[in-house]
Amino acid sequence: MAYKTKYEPKNPNKYVSNPLNIICRSTWERKFCKYLDENENITSWSSEELKIPYISTIDKQIHNYYPDFVFEAKINKTEVQTFIVEIKPKKQTLKPTPKKNKRAYLNECITYETNTCKWKAATTFCKNKNWVFKILTEENLFKTAPKKETQTDG
């Protein structure tokens, strides 16, 4: 069974949409909600509220990507930076390696390719708006506070 809970913010005024409908699909997302909600340098945030269209290389169709989080963070006393963040286990960000179970390998390849298409679209979207796109994994989740960046990561 998949993990799914609702997050109730302590600072609902910072949440951009309906603060009664914040869904967390992992414990990592839940912790990140808490970080965004309680961090005084985060001025506003949302979860799965932004729609970014992308073309899938799997079926050549247009789909919509809803990144995990969008937030604005104070970079210093006068600057605010907008971030789009996707939270994933590191293994889902790496190209799959062949396995004995061909069906499992094929599913991993499709997931990886779909994610790659989404992340390329998010990178372009952010570049056009002077925002920053980040993929956070267990290796870098909660290790650093947002800082000013001039290009997107993808």
Q: What is the 3-state secondary structure (H, E, C) of the chain?
A: CCCCEEECCCCHHHECCCCCCEEECCHHHHHHHHHHHHCCCEEEEEECCCCEEEECCCCCCEEEECCCEEEEEECCCCCEEEEEEEECCHHHHCCCCCCCCHHHHHHHHHHHHHHHHHHHHHHHHHHHHCCEEEEECCCCCCCCCCCCCCCCCC
Report the share of the chain in percent with pLDDT over 70: 91
pLDDT for res 140:
87
pLDDT for res 3:
79
What domains sit in the chain, N to C, each tagged with a CATH number? 5-136 (3.40.1350)
Residue range 119-150, pLDDT digits in tens: 999 999 999 999 999 999 999 886 655 555 54
More confident position, 87 or 153:
87
Per-residue confidence at 87, pLDDT binned at 50, 70, 90? very high
pLDDT for res 141:
85
Q: Does residue 92 register a pLDDT over 50? A: yes
Average pLDDT across the chain, whole number: 91
Q: What's the mean pLDDT in 65-73?
A: 98
pLDDT for res 149:
53
